[in-house]
Homo-oligomer: A and B are copies of this chain.
Amino acid sequence: MTAVRETFLRELRRIDSLSQVSSVLSWDEQVNLPPGKASSSQRAAQSSALAELVHREFTGSAFSDLLQRVEEDTDEPDEDLEIILREVRRDLDQAQKLPSDFVARKASHESSTYHLWKSAREKNDFAAFAPALEKTMQLARDEAEYVGYRDNPYDYHLDKHDPGMDACGIGKLFDELQTGLVPLAEQILSFAEEIKIPVLKGFPKDKQEIFLREVLESLRFDFTRGRIDVAVHPFCSGNGADTRLTTRYDSENPLDSLFSAIHEAGHGLYEQGLPSEWIGTPLSEAAGMGVHESQSRIWENQVGRSHAFWNKWEPRFRELFPEPLAEITSEQLFLAINKVSRNPIRVDADEVTYNLHIILRFELEQSLFSGDIEIKDLPGAWNEKAEKLLGLQPTCDAEGVLQDVHWSGGAFGYFPSYCLGNLLAAQLWERALEEDIPDPEDPSKLLSWLELKVHRYGRRMNLLELTKGVTGDSLDPRCLLRYLESRYVSLYEKAN
């Protein structure tokens, strides 16, 4: 490799090291930071000083010039390097096109808006939040104008979370999904409403932790380069060399901590499966939010909620929790694990109705960006769509338009990734079944397959390219519909 290429990769990795430090700070803030104001305001100052420095190092002329020299040095073609250059150029253009005063204004607005949103949700007062959200929306439009977009500003935000996606493509996928899912969900819900599903209570936290670690170890989450801690919101951070998961324990809700942890471990397994020799470059970075979500969902849902999984783990679960499970049959336990219900809150939704929550948000975001609706119309539009998609009316805005944190942080275009992840997970799972890969006795078979089919590519392929590469087909909502139908219709039919 030529000297300039080596220097470029070294610089890229050095700057990435500094970004990794930002991620350690943020993990530490959520897991360890003392509760006092002094600690949190100091941490905010540390994070912003570091973020500003990372941005300066990345967008400064030294690194830009180096990138350009490597781009111009085309003597010995190197396919890996080409991918790296393509992706770094994408990131750098994006970072350079945003004026630093805009970035500062946006960060400051988001930080104040978060607190406004929190208080508005508590008080169930959308009007108190609306003016700030208007400004957030304007900033999102400005951001799209600075960086550029395909057909409309919303496309920029979608592509930012999932490279290659746009509103038109996602709209088609979601329309097809909606057409099949609304009646399917109604069918499953009508069965589910007839059944009394037991509530799991009185599960000691220390034993939940034991069970959860055994499960994650069996899934091959590598604890020599990762860990799991407690935080208010479950998340996964870090990279494959230091992968940090969080969950939370509630003795009255053992399935929440377990499935949160399996979900986050799915993200972690993806990070740990990315090619370690390329850490610090896009070849060892996730292909996008949707692909990331496909990896968390496949372990949480397709694997973790399956009969095969619980056939294996139920004895150990009962051994650790004999008393709270004494009156609960295997069938009841499995129904509790696969409970479907009409719920106005997205984060509490089951995997059948979850996607309808996402479609609702996607349609509203699309209408906001196109100008079809304004911020002030959101609560009404939300409730109307909730009726149509979920068959329910939120009792208040706190249960409706104010429920999610995302918009307060300006994260438009983020929600669709969750559903794209579910689509891809179902399609990968169907393919894996065809190849006879999943083996409840040996989860490493599925993991190796995912590493081979998904993880090892890093940002080499985006969501659509990966889907095509693995399954030979385009992303196809029918896989998810087939999966949900096969798992839930028969389960609830049988239970009735």
A83 at the interface (CB under 8 A from B): no
Known: A21-B46, A46-B18, A50-B18. A227 touches B36 (CB 8 A): no
Contacts of A28 in B (CB 8 A): 24, 28
Known: A28-B24, A34-B225. A49 touches B241 (CB 8 A): no
Q: Which of B24, B35, B46, B279 contacts A20 (CB 8 A)?
A: B46
A49 and chain B: residue at smallest CB distance? B17
Q: Tell me whether A43 and B242 are in contact (CB under 8 A).
A: yes
A28 CA to B241 CA in the complex, in Å?
Answer: 15
A14 at the interface (CB under 8 A from B): yes
Q: Tell me whether B18 and A49 are in contact (CB under 8 A).
A: yes
Contacts of A224 in B (CB 8 A): 34-36, 39
Contacts of A46 in B (CB 8 A): 17-18, 20-21, 24
- Rounded to whole Å, the gap between the CB of A238 and the closest CB of chain B is 9
Contacts of A34 in B (CB 8 A): 223-227, 242
- Rounded to whole Å, the gap between the CB of A22 and the closest CB of chain B is 9
Contacts of A39 in B (CB 8 A): 224-225, 241-242
Q: Which of B36, B227, B239 contacts A222 (CB 8 A)?
A: B36
A34 CA to B222 CA in the complex, in Å?
Answer: 10
A347 at the interface (CB under 8 A from B): no
Kindly state the interface size class of chain A when it binds its partner.
35 or more
Q: Which of B53, B240, B242 contacts A33 (CB 8 A)?
A: B242
A216 at the interface (CB under 8 A from B): no
Contacts of A42 in B (CB 8 A): 17, 20, 239, 241-242, 279
A50 CA to B22 CA in the complex, in Å?
Answer: 11
A21 CA to B47 CA in the complex, in Å?
Answer: 8
- Rounded to whole Å, the gap between the CB of A46 and the closest CB of chain B is 5
A291 CA to B46 CA in the complex, in Å?
Answer: 27
Contacts of A36 in B (CB 8 A): 222, 224-225, 241
Contacts of A223 in B (CB 8 A): 34
A39 CA to B227 CA in the complex, in Å?
Answer: 11
A38 at the interface (CB under 8 A from B): yes
A25 at the interface (CB under 8 A from B): yes
A224 and chain B: residue at smallest CB distance? B36
A222 CA to B57 CA in the complex, in Å?
Answer: 37
A141 at the interface (CB under 8 A from B): no
A226 and chain B: residue at smallest CB distance? B34
A135 at the interface (CB under 8 A from B): no
A:237-288 near B, CB below 8 Å = 239-242, 276, 279
- Rounded to whole Å, the gap between the CB of A38 and the closest CB of chain B is 4
A490 at the interface (CB under 8 A from B): no
A32 at the interface (CB under 8 A from B): yes
Q: Tell me whether B18 and A53 are in contact (CB under 8 A).
A: yes
Q: Which of B17, B35, B49 contacts A45 (CB 8 A)?
A: B17
A13 at the interface (CB under 8 A from B): yes
A48 and chain B: residue at smallest CB distance? B17
- Rounded to whole Å, the gap between the CB of A201 and the closest CB of chain B is 25
Contacts of A43 in B (CB 8 A): 242
1/0 contact string of A429-445 vs chain B (CB within 8 Å): 00000000000000000
A123 CA to B50 CA in the complex, in Å?
Answer: 43
A42 and chain B: residue at smallest CB distance? B241
- Rounded to whole Å, the gap between the CB of A447 and the closest CB of chain B is 18
Contacts of A14 in B (CB 8 A): 45, 49
- Rounded to whole Å, the gap between the CB of A56 and the closest CB of chain B is 10
A14 and chain B: residue at smallest CB distance? B49
> Most B CB atoms within 10 A — which of A20, A38, A43, A224?
A38
10 A-B pairs closest in CB distance: A36-B224, A38-B241, A42-B241, A17-B49, A36-B225, A39-B242, A17-B46, A38-B225, A34-B225, A17-B45
Besides A17-B45, A53-B53, 17 other A-B contacts (C-beta < 8 A): A14-B45, A17-B49, A17-B50, A18-B53, A20-B42, A21-B49, A34-B223, A34-B224, A34-B227, A34-B242, A35-B224, A36-B222, A38-B225, A38-B240, A38-B242, A39-B225, A41-B241
Sample 7 A-B pairs with CB under 8 A, ordered by A number.
A17-B42, A17-B50, A18-B53, A20-B42, A32-B227, A36-B222, A42-B279
